[in-house]
Amino acid sequence: MNDRGEFFRKLLEQMLLIRRFEEKSAQLYGLRKIGGFCHLYIGQEAVAVGAIAAIDLTKDYVLTAYRDHGHALAVGMEPEVLMAELLGKATGCSKGKGGSMHFFDAKRHFLGGNGIVGAHIPIATGVAVKIKYLNEEGCVLCFFGDGAIHQGVFHESLNMAKIWKLPVVYIVENNQYGMGTHFNRVSAVGNLASKGCAYKIPGEQVDGMDVVKVFEATRKAAALAKEKGLPSLLEMKTYRYLGHSMTDPAKYRTQEELEAQKKHDPILFLKAQMLKDGTMGEEEFKKMDEEIKSVVAKAVKFAEESPEPALEAMYEDLMV
């Protein structure tokens, strides 16, 4: 297999891992093993996987909002510690104190996971300040949804990123709905990528269902950020298959719309490409899928067998 084939295989594997992880999360939520708010990433896998594949996590950073399972897996966090976090266990990445919306991995430069819409956008901008301040080579990928783009801090952050020439790539994952509201109903412009124009930040709309296009657009934007200190705004056109969170039956859209969107499934799209290229056969795909399902099953077993946090843990990790 050539390099390109191997790369595609890695992308496919990661997307499939997210898909199976999220399906299992939905199941466990139904069984009330996961509580609270749980926002699943199914349908949007190509965005986190393609974008994060374009950066170097020894130098670069990733921040996202509360729909963070996909990004956490894409930066390479182990499914075990994520599933354990969802179950609130002591072995979770945040020791059971964060839950679904608060996955973090300091050593992989993954700074969350944030439950307040848009609140991490200035934080990501501040991480870029650090890169510039210490004269490092990295950049920051800041993911957020089409709902967050109307928050004041988005605009405040873009302004600062531009005047200070910060190495940050703002990535709006336009999955069409901010909770139950179609983005066209709440946005003055249909092209979200154009929202950087007031700050002279270049924007680009990208097919967020095509992982390779996501990868390429992000690689270009990351290079601009790192080499020229030019921030950019990428709008990934994507779609979430499930409701906003586990309690949302998504009655604001039609079944036809959903089925039409599913025809552009990011996993099936890449798979079809690989079958056509001959970089992967149907049998191989099935084998990959089986392996991933068993990885997820192992993660669930690990999480279920893990202990609850001790009560004393309540007072730990508050202050240094």
- Scanning 166-265, the segments in alpha helix (DSSP H) are 183-186, 211-228, 255-262
Min separation Cβ 136 and another protein, Å: 10
Cα end-to-end span (Å), the chain: 49
The verdict on 131 binding another protein (CB under 8 A) reads yes
Check residue 155 and give left, alpha or beta (phi > 0: left; psi -120 to 50: alpha): alpha
User: Which of 5, 23, 33, 123 forms a contact with another protein (CB under 8 A)?
Assistant: 123
Task: Judge contact between 78 and 242, C-beta under 8 A.
Answer: no
Write out the binding residues for another protein, residues 69-98 only, by CB under 8 A: 92-98
Rounded-to-integer distance, Cα 188 and Cα 152, Å:
15
DSSP state of 106: G
User: Which of 3, 31, 106, 256 forms a contact with another protein (CB under 8 A)?
Assistant: 106
In degrees and rounded to multiples of 5, residue 146 shows phi and psi of -65, -20
The mark string for 149-188 relative to another protein (x by CB under 8 A, - otherwise) is: ---xx--xx-xx--xx------------------------
Rounded-to-integer distance, Cα 61 and Cα 141, Å:
6
The verdict on 306 binding another protein (CB under 8 A) reads no
User: Which of 26, 119, 223, 224 forms a contact with another protein (CB under 8 A)?
Assistant: 119
Write out the binding residues for another protein, residues 1-20 only, by CB under 8 A: none
Tokens at residue 207, please? 């097919």
Min separation Cβ 120 and another protein, Å: 8
The verdict on 290 binding another protein (CB under 8 A) reads no
Task: Judge contact between 61 and 120, C-beta under 8 A.
Answer: no
What is the total count of residues that contact another protein (CB under 8 A)?
A: 47
The verdict on 127 binding another protein (CB under 8 A) reads yes
Rounded-to-integer distance, Cα 281 and Cα 264, Å:
20
The verdict on 288 binding another protein (CB under 8 A) reads no
Rounded-to-integer distance, Cα 2 and Cα 181, Å:
44
User: Which of 102, 213, 219, 264 forms a contact with another protein (CB under 8 A)?
Assistant: 102
The verdict on 112 binding another protein (CB under 8 A) reads yes
**Contacts with another protein, residue ranges (CB under 8 A):** 61, 63, 92-98, 102, 104-106, 111-116, 119-131, 133-134, 152-153, 156-157, 159-160, 163-164, 316-320
